[in-house]
A and B are shown apart, each in its own frame.
Chain A
Amino acid sequence: MFDGAPRYGQITAFLTGETDVVPPGITLENDRPEFLYLGHTSLMGSSASVVSAAGTIASCGLFNLSKNSIGIVTLRRWSSSAVRSFFLRFFRGAGLPGGFSANASGPVDTRDSRLISPSGSQLVCAQAALAAATGGQAFGIETSSVAFAMFEDREPIVLGPGTALIFEDQAVGAQTLNVSWRWYERGARAEELAAL
């Protein structure tokens, strides 16, 4: 049980004769207070693909719908079958905007060696083909000059509870839009939640 902390395994075995019991008063190394937030950090990833018909706007988003998790987006890749310009929007809302459907988002890696299968993501990857823009504050514009060219952005962006990143065509048009995200995720600190 204590593969990541052999000294505790030795102490436990010495005190209890067992190897899978934590004696009272002993804190496992990975549970030390200073590891609380780092220890709950996992690498997550997901991707979305949407086909928009003429007259609709292709849109893909990463939504933090949790009330107590922080997501740190570290990688975004996208490509479009058409030569088009896209907004990168910051969006705030308690749920998915109308017309969006959710994808599976899942763990990729965890740095807590005790966790063989880390828990699932609290963030939701979703896509939509809409008649009108989703809304939210646009803070970037990216343009593909060649169909299916792959673009990549590695600037870290923090998503608190109830916030989202949306990658959305500037105008209606037929295309296939592919977006993939990678992010780190952890539970929010009490002071962070209090500041919301």
Chain B
Amino acid sequence: MSARIEDLVPGFQPWARWALQLCQERDHNAQVTSTRRSRQEQTALYQAYLRGESRYPALPPGRSAHERGVAIDIYASDQALAYAGAIWQSAGGRWGGPIGDPIHFDAGN
């Protein structure tokens, strides 16, 4: 599973870097944990989530923005994620905080 911003669609890459930068403003240890996923990788994550093995929720294969290359997961402190999420949402993006997935930032629909 990729954690490289360069694997996202080119148009989303500047936004992904921005999300990471916002998190790093509050938490210098913030790092990217997931960017683009294949269908197989999303399937494996979803099955792990259903088995209760994942701390964070995963969408069924075919429905994740990670598969479309327009989403990024970032590991950071809760405060940093809340700070970045508030700005990300206000800027027009979608943040996973309100649905229990605070590490998730995507472009919305």
Mark A residues whose CB is within 8 Å of B: 4-6, 29-30, 32-41, 70, 72, 74, 111-113, 154, 156, 158, 184, 186, 189
Are A156 and B90 in contact (CB-based, < 8 A)? yes
Q: Given A72-B90, A74-B87 in contact, is the A4-B108 Cβ separation under 8 Å? A: no
Are B87 and A184 in contact (CB-based, < 8 A)? yes
Are B14 and A29 in contact (CB-based, < 8 A)? no
**What are the residues of chain B within 8 A of A41 when measuring CB–CB?**
91-92
Are B90 and A34 in contact (CB-based, < 8 A)? no
Are B107 and A38 in contact (CB-based, < 8 A)? yes
Answer whether residue B81 sits at the interface, using C-beta atoms and an 8 A cutoff: no
Are B90 and A184 in contact (CB-based, < 8 A)? yes
CA distance A150 to B15 in the complex (A): 31
Are A29 and B11 in contact (CB-based, < 8 A)? yes
Q: Which residue in chain B gives the minimum CB-CB distance to A70?
A: B90
CA distance A6 to B11 in the complex (A): 11
CA distance A189 to B90 in the complex (A): 11
Are B107 and A34 in contact (CB-based, < 8 A)? yes
Are A113 and B90 in contact (CB-based, < 8 A)? no
**B interface residues, how many (CB within 8 angstroms):** 21
Q: Which residue in chain B gives the minimum CB-CB distance to A28?
A: B11
Q: Which residue in chain B gives the minimum CB-CB distance to A112?
A: B14
**What are the residues of chain B within 8 A of A30 when measuring CB–CB?**
11
CA distance A4 to B26 in the complex (A): 29
Mark B residues whose CB is within 8 Å of A: 9-12, 14-15, 17-18, 25-26, 70, 83, 86-87, 90-93, 107-109
Are A156 and B10 in contact (CB-based, < 8 A)? no
The 27 listed contacts between A and B (C-beta, < 8 Å) are A5-B11, A6-B10, A29-B10, A30-B11, A32-B11, A34-B70, A34-B107, A35-B12, A35-B107, A38-B15, A38-B107, A39-B11, A40-B92, A70-B90, A74-B87, A111-B14, A111-B15, A111-B18, A112-B14, A113-B14, A154-B26, A156-B83, A156-B86, A156-B87, A156-B90, A184-B90, A189-B92
**What are the residues of chain A within 8 A of B107 when measuring CB–CB?**
34-35, 38
Q: Which residue in chain B gives the minimum CB-CB distance to A36?
A: B92
CA distance A154 to B86 in the complex (A): 12
**What are the residues of chain A within 8 A of B87 when measuring CB–CB?**
72, 74, 156, 184
How far in angstroms is the closest Cβ of chain B from A161? 14
Are B83 and A5 in contact (CB-based, < 8 A)? no
How far in angstroms is the closest Cβ of chain B from A20? 18
Are A29 and B92 in contact (CB-based, < 8 A)? no
